Structure 1
């Protein structure tokens, strides 16, 4: 067993960010449906816009998603391939 835990810290940090049902749902929805804006996610999640924005900020800061501005709206996509693979494994192909 390795004693150098530093090399696992990036993965642990990513898992901490994903350790919330709404954030998992956001990432799964983006993976399944492609880029979406906050309004679309708010309607799908039936959650206030401010709450969705807070979750998006955490995902963006962790480098899990990225945004593309189109006028006043920002469209988000998953930009971390490891996250895509992880969500697929965790949800076992669930749709």
Structure 2
């Protein structure tokens, strides 16, 4: 058995079976965890996050509007939207020759709001 030292280690090694059971009984399965982490990977890109926050504020925007609102090239916006659409984070509505994009549902809105609130909590100084 290896010995772990440092601030993140237990001072006195012990296992609390009831807490371990709570943590493992309702843990997401491998497929669900893969889907959850893929959403976080999408949000982990500053360009995609900027696009999502623009959609959060404006509601619905076409590629040209998204490019202008975020200072991003239209080709980059299109590539990012392709990923976001494939993951179900955004959806599009065709109007003539344009497609207007919006966040797919209230869950995405909530995720963006809560993530931003957490990042700004206590001035964003927590490690």
TM-score bin, normalised by smaller chain: 0.7 to 0.9
Structure number with the bigger relative contact order (C-alpha 8 A, sep ≥ 6) is 1
Identify which of 33, 39, 52 aligns with 2:64: 39
Shift of 1:54: 0.4
Unaligned runs of at least 5 residues, structure 1: none
Which structure shows the higher strand fraction? 1
Normalising by structure 2, report the TM-score. 0.67
Normalising by structure 1, report the TM-score. 0.87
Unaligned runs of at least 5 residues, structure 2: 1-22, 121-127
Q: Larger C-alpha radius of gyration, 1 or 2?
A: 2
List aligned pairs for 1:56-67, cutoff 5 A: 56-67=81-92
Q: Which moved more, 1:77-86 or 1:31-40?
A: 77-86
The two structures, once aligned, show a CA RMSD in angstroms of 1.9
Asked whether 1:10 is paired with 2:35, we answer: yes
